[in-house]
Amino acid sequence: MSTLSEDYFRSPHHLRAEGTTHTLLIEDAAGRALRVPLIVRPIEGTPYHDAISPYGFPGGRLDGLREVSRDAVDWTDTGLVSLFVRDRVTGPRCFTGATKRNEVFFIDSQRPVVFQAEARRQMRRNTRLGFVSTCGPAREASREEREGFKEVYRQTMVRDRAHARYFFSDAYFEDLFSSPVAWLATTRAPDGVIASSGVAVVSDGVLHHYLGGTADVYLPRSPAKNTVFESLLGLSKQLGLPLHLGGGVRPGDGLERFKRSFGNASSHLYTHEFICEPSVYARLSAGRDTGFFPAYRAPQG
């Protein structure tokens, strides 16, 4: 696949896990190119298709082209009704006119890092009680560490009533764990049971805290703080990369406020929305929520 790179979100491991099917190739007269990985999907009940980027922050492979003008591309030959592209969180962007979405937060070890007193107290308490955190390459992790991660992650998704999309398969995790730029951080309770775990990946000059979770029984102890703010922050310092914490589910929610309290830098999620076949799009979207893209896929009820 022509979008492949060493960056995790365009790596063969991630694109295979996500079920990426196509590459959008845009070239100019000088041979410069932009290559964007896509998942082409049928639109149920119609003969049409649309496309979306893989999950995460893949953007595109920039082979000389970046910030391509939205108006410079003729989308009518793509065979798609619409196209939704997730871009990098730190730039450069694939296209001009990106939609700025949720704010996301980073811990940059090159800048002053200040933790709230309560967070420091919780982490010190856990260490004093015998909680131990470790971190290493995911592909070198033991089967017990990998299975422990999957268990606490899935418990967290159930607890948070996450969308079905976030309940990844075992095959998905195997692709993730086999990446050479994925790291697994584990925090164990005093009895050796995995209390919290997180996976971080390196992509586009950033260490992304990609997936994580905490076991239900240990939630009151907040061991995820040790996982993220000791193990993964230590890894980010070792690698010389900022640690991307992400943002909230919705702007201004409790999760966003929590991450803001730790971050010392921020950016935003950026996406691009293209309507390739306006007349078909309008017909499919009639009566739907126009605040959702594509509107014809807006949840109903």
pLDDT in tens, the chain (301 residues): 455 678 999 999 999 999 999 999 999 999 999 999 999 999 999 999 999 999 999 999 999 999 999 888 998 888 999 999 999 999 899 999 999 999 999 999 888 888 888 888 999 999 999 999 999 999 999 999 999 999 999 999 999 899 899 999 999 999 999 999 999 999 999 999 999 999 999 999 999 999 999 999 999 999 999 999 999 999 999 999 999 999 887 777 877 888 888 889 999 999 999 999 999 999 999 988 778 999 999 887 5
Whole-prediction pTM: 0.93
196 neighbors 224 (Cβ within 8 angstroms): yes
Distance between CA atoms of residues 273 and 266, nearest Å: 23
Q: What are phi and psi of 151, to 5 degrees?
A: -65, -50
Q: Residue 130: exposed, middle, or buried by beta-carbon count in 10 A (0-12, 13-18, 19+)?
A: exposed
Q: Tell me, what's the pLDDT at 301? A: 58
The tokens for 202 are: 């390196």
Q: Tell me, what's the pLDDT at 4? A: 66
185 neighbors 211 (Cβ within 8 angstroms): no
Q: Tell me, what's the pLDDT at 130? A: 97
The tokens for 215 are: 């076991």
Tracing tokens 């239900």 back to the chain, one arrives at 216
What is the CB-side half-sphere exposure of residue 23 using CA atoms within 13 A?
A: 16
Give the chain's length: 301
Helix/strand/coil for 58: coil
Structural domains of the chain, ranges and CATH numbers in brackets: 8-103+269-297 (no CATH), 109-241 (3.40.630.30)
Distance between CA atoms of residues 18 and 4, nearest Å: 14
Q: Tell me, what's the pLDDT at 3? A: 59
Q: What are phi and psi of 191, to 5 degrees?
A: -85, 5
Tracing tokens 């805290």 back to the chain, one arrives at 209
177 neighbors 220 (Cβ within 8 angstroms): no
Q: Tell me, what's the pLDDT at 23? A: 95
